[in-house]
Amino acid sequence: MKTYIFPGQGSQAKGMGEGLFEAFPDLVAKADAILGYSIKRLCLDNPEGKLRYTQYTQPALYVVNALTYFKKLRDGAPKPDFLAGHSLGEYNAILAAGGFDFETGLMLVKKRGELMSQASGGAMAAVVGLTEGEIKGVLVNNRLTEIDIANLNTTTQIVISGNKDDIDRAKLYFEREGADYIPLNVSAAFHSRHMQEAKEEFEQYLREFSYSELTIPVISNVTARPYNPAEIVPNLAEQLRSSVRWTDSIRYLIRQGGMEFEETGPGSVLTKIIAKIKVEPPVNQQRGSVGVRVTKSIDRKEEDTEGQAEFKRKIDTAFQKTTEWNQVYPIGTKVTCKGYEDVLITRTEAQVLFGHRAAVYVEGYNGYFALDEIRVV
């Protein structure tokens, strides 16, 4: 069993794609026409340092990832059993599975990069050394409730996303817990609730295109499970504001048995991350240990403590609800949902959104329902 994995932002580098552009002149010409500039020159020469800007990084990586995959097939490599991509890389996974053609994927990525580059006022930081539950404990105990978890790269390598002032303020609290805190060079709060406006605009754009059935299972960043039919648009739209559940995705693939991973694109970032996931002990990332390790938080007024306690109770209740639901009801459960007469089918496990809301996604509906709003048929 083999999975091809496609990298996202962070893997770009001057010189990437060398030798590929000459091998696929027709695709390179199409890319230049769509983008309005030379993709080869951008990747090989990085004029004016443009590769560090999101609106250039994303098309560049998409093209190099795609040409790398096409070169593998041309050289006789068999198609994989599964496909997965980290954030932007998911577009290459869908391309490889036949969900859209090269040009459509590039137009989508171009629009995505433009929208993300226009977002401002946000920031992101990598927190290394704490689990998801421990990170949520720090956020709750220090009233940083506007920060979301953006990327679950490994059990203890996690990226958070939020307003810049909150991200800057959070540094002290995480370092008090012994974590390494690494601000990222981005201008917006990607993969968080703060991308809602971009998500809505992008979804409208996504609906202007047609999509084909996936011929190879693609693992969704949003659900950490294979795409269901007709799920491309809601998944790619939701991906802008949802966590990249990379650890859960890789663990799902590993459970399929005898899985090999092959990074298909520039660099080896994902290969190194997967090697770490394989040796880390499994951790229930949804529940973690909220509030257990957080013993060094700055003292606050009594009313703050009461507010924290109330918010923590909401979190504990949400985690209890999702745990109980997932123990009884599998993906594909028939349900009725508040405000809808038709019977719907769940397309994800129950999960905690925004740190405190127990919810589940259903087929045919672009969004989630709180567990309190649904009934099993």
Which pLDDT belongs to residue 311? 56
Model pLDDT for residues 38-69, shown as the tens digit of each residue: 999 999 999 999 998 999 999 999 999 999 99
Model pLDDT for residues 150-197, shown as the tens digit of each residue: 999 999 999 999 999 999 999 999 999 999 999 988 878 999 999 999
Higher-pLDDT residue of 205, 301: 205
- What is the band of 323 on the pLDDT scale with cuts at 50, 70, 90? confident
Residue 324 pLDDT greater than 90, yes or no: no
Residue 375 pLDDT greater than 50, yes or no: yes
- What is the band of 328 on the pLDDT scale with cuts at 50, 70, 90? confident
* Nearest Cα to Cα of residue 87 among 32, 131, 28, 152: 152
Please tell me the least confidently modeled range out of 4-13, 187-196, 279-288: 279-288
Q: What positions carry a catalytic annotation?
A: 87, 191
- What is the band of 356 on the pLDDT scale with cuts at 50, 70, 90? low
- What is the band of 368 on the pLDDT scale with cuts at 50, 70, 90? confident
Q: Which amino acid type is present at position 179?
A: A
d(Cα 276, Cα 274) in Å, to the nearest integer? 5
Domains and CATH numbers, the chain: 2-119+193-267 (3.40.366.10), 120-188+281-298 (3.30.70.250), 306-377 (no CATH)
Residue 202 pLDDT greater than 90, yes or no: yes
Backbone angles phi, psi at 159, to 5 degrees: -105, 135
Spatial CB neighbours of 100, under 8 Å, sequence gap ≥ 6: 94, 108, 209, 211, 212, 232
Residue 297 pLDDT greater than 70, yes or no: no
User: What does pTM read for this prediction?
Assistant: 0.75
d(Cα 155, Cα 159) in Å, to the nearest integer? 11
